[in-house]
C-alpha cells in the first residue's frame, strides 16, 4: 500500500512543534531538534522495525503511530512481535494487558522489549539519543505507564547475612510469629512434611492470599536474622526455609511476570 509521506511529514512536523511547546521534558535528554528536511531519509531511523504503541500523553496514540510509519517502521500488535521490540508507552489509557503480553513474549523467547515514553521515542528519532532508565528514576515515577511497568515484578530477596546477634532485624522486620504461620499454617517444624509446607505456601501465594512477594520476603527475612545469630540451633530450620524458597522460585518466579524487573539497573 502506498504511503502518503507528505501527510505523514506534516503530522511529524506538528508533533515536533508540540514537543517544543512542552519544552525540555523530564523524559527527554535534551530539547528536540527540528529536522531541516522532513523527507530526508536520515530521519527514518526504524528501518522496518516493529514498534508497539499504547496509551496517550502527551501526544495522541494515533499521532505517535503516524510517526512510526513516517520513520519507516511498522505498528506492532498483540499478535505481531519482533526480537528486542520497541514499546512506546503513553502516560494515560495504556493497555495493561498488551504490556504484560510484551513481557510474557520476551520471557518465552528470551529477549527484552525496550520501553520508552513518547517523548523519549521522539528524542531517539530526532536526536539519535537513546534514553536509559534506572532504578528510582524520577522520570518513571512521574509517568503512569512506565511506573506500571516498574511495579509488575520484584527482585528476589537475598538470604545472605553478616554474623551477629540479629536483634536490629528483629526490631525492624517481620515478626517470627506471622500471618503466614497463623492463617496459612506454614511451619518448618520437624513434624511438618515438605508436602504440607508446600500446600500452605500455595494457599499463601494464591490470589486472595499474601502474594508471592510478601511470602518470599518474609521467609528470606527469617533466614537472614537466624543466620546472623551465632548459635547453630536453627541450622535445620534455615535449611528448610531455603529449600522452600528454592521451590517457590522454580514454581512461581522463574519465567513469570514476577521475575520482570524493569529497569534492570
Q: What is the DSSP string of 180-214?
A: HHHTT-----TTS-HHHHHHHHHHHHSTTSS-HHH
* 172 shares a domain with 139: no
Q: Residue 209: give the domain boundaries.
A: 167-259
* 96 shares a domain with 12: yes
pLDDT at site 158 = 95
The residue ranking higher by pLDDT, 253 or 40, is 253
pLDDT at site 26 = 44
Are 46 and 73 in contact by the 8 Å Cβ rule? The answer is yes
List the single range of 6-15, 98-107, 112-121 with lowest mean pLDDT.
6-15
Q: What is the mean pLDDT of residues 86-90?
A: 97
> Is it the case that residue 67 has pLDDT exceeding 60?
yes
Whole-angstrom CA distances from 201 to 116, 163, 236 are: 37, 28, 19
pLDDT at site 169 = 46
Alpha-carbon distance 84 to 105, whole Å? 10
pLDDT at site 58 = 87
What's the whole-number average pLDDT of the chain? 83
Are 139 and 133 in contact by the 8 Å Cβ rule? The answer is yes
* 143 shares a domain with 24: yes
Number of structural domains, the chain?
A: 2
Model confidence band, residue 45 (pLDDT cutoffs 50, 70, 90): confident
Model confidence band, residue 8 (pLDDT cutoffs 50, 70, 90): low
Q: The domain that contains 128 carries what CATH number?
A: 3.40.50.10190
Amino acid at each position: 500500500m502506498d504511503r502518503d509521506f507528505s501527510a505523514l511529514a506534516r503530522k511529524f512536523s506538528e508533533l515536533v512543534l508540540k514537543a517544543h511547546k512542552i519544552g525540555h521534558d523530564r523524559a527527554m535528554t535534551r530539547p528536540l531538534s527540528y529536522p531541516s528536511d522532513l523527507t530526508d531519509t536520515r530521519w527514518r531511523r526504524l528501518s522496518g522495525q516493529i514498534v508497539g504503541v499504547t496509551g496517550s500523553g502527551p501526544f495522541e496514540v494515533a499521532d505517535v503511530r503516524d510517526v512510526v510509519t513516517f520513520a519507516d517502521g511498522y505498528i506492532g500488535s498483540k499478535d505481531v512481535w519482533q526480537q528486542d521490540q520497541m514499546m512506546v508507552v503513553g502516560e494515560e489509557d495504556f493497555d495493561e494487558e498488551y504490556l504484560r503480553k510484551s513481557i510474557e513474549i520476551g520471557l518465552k523467547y528470551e529477549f527484552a522489549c525496550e520501553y520508552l515514553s513518547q517523548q523519549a521515542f521522539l528524542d531517539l528519532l530526532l536526536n539519535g539519543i537513546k534514553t536509559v532508565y534506572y532504578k528510582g528514576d524520577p522520570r518513571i515515577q512521574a509517568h503512569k505507564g512506565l511506573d506500571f511497568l516498574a511495579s509488575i515484578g520484584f527482585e528476589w530477596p537475598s538470604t545472605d547475612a553478616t554474623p551477629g546477634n540479629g536483634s536490629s532485624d528483629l526490631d525492624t522486620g517481620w515478626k517470627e510469629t506471622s500471618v503466614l504461620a497463623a492463617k496459612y499454617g506454614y511451619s518448618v517444624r520437624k513434624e511438618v512434611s515438605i508436602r504440607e509446607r508446600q500446600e500452605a505456601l500455595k494457599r499463601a501465594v494464591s490470589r486472595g492470599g499474601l502474594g508471592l512477594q510478601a511470602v518470599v520476603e518474609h521467609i528470606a527475612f527469617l533466614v537472614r536474622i537466624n543466620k546472623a545469630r551465632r548459635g547453630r540451633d536453627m541450622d535445620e530450620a534455615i535449611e528448610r526455609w531455603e529449600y522452600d524458597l528454592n521451590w517457590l522460585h522454580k514454581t512461581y518466579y522463574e519465567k513469570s511476570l514476577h521475575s520482570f524487573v524493569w529497569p534492570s539497573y
